[in-house]
Chains A and B, each alone.
Chain A
Amino acid sequence: MADEVILLGFWPSPFGMRTRVALAEKGVVYEYKEEDLQDKSPLLLKSNPIHKEIPVLNHNGKPICESLIIVQYIDEVWNDKSPLLPKYSYERAHARFWADFADKKISDYGSRILWKKGEEQEEGKKGFLDCLKLLEGELGEKPYFGGESLGLVDVAFLPFSCWFYSFETCGNFSVEKECPKIIAWVERCKEKESVSKSLQDPQKIYEYVAVLKKRFGVE
């Protein structure tokens, strides 16, 4: 019996993009449903009654919520190719740590760059770049955080790269200048179809940010 896999997402969401990269890496066929976050569908509200957020993966009618939990689920179920987590427990804990780091820090600092001005924005920029430098250290000389292939940390962090242009433009700085290894890693990842077909166009993200700024009356 064929699997029924539905992904409820919202196109600019880096959290939704994580799930799409993971599904693409595994070659999973799925139906994508774009949510209107201002008019959430009954399926979303039924599938994620606690947080009412995307992404939600519906696998044969069973909902899985929270992007990093979904990615680990995908890795466990479709375990015949492209493992996203290492085999050994210590390396797995290490990968989970850095995915959690990307989760906790990048979004928060990025938001401050986009929505704040003055000192708060500067703090956001500094925090964001400090995080990227730590991630550069973790990447080291490896082509990907996962080693020779994409891993959990690559999948967790990559989607934020399509927001870099928005952060740079709003914050008036260059990620390439400060963290060239990160940009090199992004370009390397984009050579993979699973990534290039899943990430959004940075220019479209920036236009979306402009729409949000207008809606919230932010300069």
Chain B
Amino acid sequence: MADEVILLDFWPSPFGLRARIAMAEKGVEYDYRDENLREKGPLLLKSNPVHKKIPVLIHNGKPVCESLIIVQYIDEVWNDKPLFSKDPYETAKARFWADFVDKKIYDCGTRIWKNKGEAQDQAKKEFIDCLKLLEGELAEKSYFGGDTLGYVDVALIPFACWFYSYETEGKFSIEEDCPKIMAWVKRCMEKESVSKTLAEPQKVYEFVGVLKKMYGIE
């Protein structure tokens, strides 16, 4: 019996993109459904009653919520091309850095486009500091997962389509401050699972413009 896989998502969401990239890596066929976050559909509200957020993966009628939990689930169910090492210590390290991305990158990035002046400068500084720490973790590896995409790559790469927005709003260049991260982004983009999945940076920037208008930000 064929699997029924539905992804409830929102096109620019870096969290939703994680699930999309993981499934592309694994060659999983799924039904993508874009949600209107201002008018959430009954399936979303029923599938994620606690947080009412995307992404939600619904696998044969069973919902899985929270992007990193979804990615781990995808990795366990469609277990060829594993995203994790077999070694528990390496797995713990990967979980640590994905958690770091989760705690820091989205928050700093959002603060860059939502703020001006000193608050924005502070956000930019923290953002670059975080990327530099990630560069340290990447070191000489092609990907955070080693020779292939791993859990941390999947956790971080979706933010790459938001980099243009952060740079334009914050008037800085990620390439200038963190060239190794940009080299890693380019390397990831050579993979179809990434290049065919990531949203277009220009479209994301236009979406940020819409958000700013909505929040009454200049």
Quick check: B100 and A59 within 8 Å, CB to CB?
no
* B26 interfacial contact with A, CB 8 Å: no
Interfacial residues, chain A to chain B (CB-CB below 8 A):
50, 59, 62, 64-66, 69-70, 72-73, 76-77, 89-90, 92-94, 96-97, 100-101, 134
Q: For A100, what are the chain B residues with a Cβ–Cβ distance below 8 Å?
A: 66, 69
- Chain B's interface: helix, strand, loop or mixed, by majority? helix
Q: For A69, what are the chain B residues with a Cβ–Cβ distance below 8 Å?
A: 92, 95-96, 99
Residue from A50, A66, A90 within 8 A of B73 (CB atoms): A90
Q: For A89, what are the chain B residues with a Cβ–Cβ distance below 8 Å?
A: 73, 76-77
Closest 4 pairs between A and B when the two form their complex, measured CB to CB: A76-B88, A89-B76, A93-B73, A73-B92
Quick check: A64 and B92 within 8 Å, CB to CB?
yes
Q: Can you give 6 contacting A-B residue pairs, CB < 8 Å?
A: A66-B96, A70-B92, A89-B73, A90-B64, A93-B64, A94-B64
Q: For B91, what are the chain A residues with a Cβ–Cβ distance below 8 Å?
A: 73, 76
- Chain A's interface: helix, strand, loop or mixed, by majority? helix
B95 to chain A, nearest CB (A): 5
Question: What 0/1 readout, one digit per residue, does chain B (57-74) give for beta carbons within 8 Å of chain A?
Answer: 001001011100110110
Q: For B88, what are the chain A residues with a Cβ–Cβ distance below 8 Å?
A: 73, 76-77
When chains A and B are docked, how far (Å) is the Cα of A64 from the Cα of B88? 10
Quick check: B73 and A65 within 8 Å, CB to CB?
no
Quick check: B89 and A59 within 8 Å, CB to CB?
yes
* B1 interfacial contact with A, CB 8 Å: no
Q: Which of A65, A92, A97 has the most CB atoms of chain B within a 10 A radius of its CB?
A: A97
* B214 interfacial contact with A, CB 8 Å: no
* B2 interfacial contact with A, CB 8 Å: no
When chains A and B are docked, how far (Å) is the Cα of A24 from the Cα of B59? 35
Quick check: B96 and A93 within 8 Å, CB to CB?
no
Quick check: A92 and B73 within 8 Å, CB to CB?
yes
Q: For B70, what are the chain A residues with a Cβ–Cβ distance below 8 Å?
A: 93
Q: For B76, what are the chain A residues with a Cβ–Cβ distance below 8 Å?
A: 89, 92
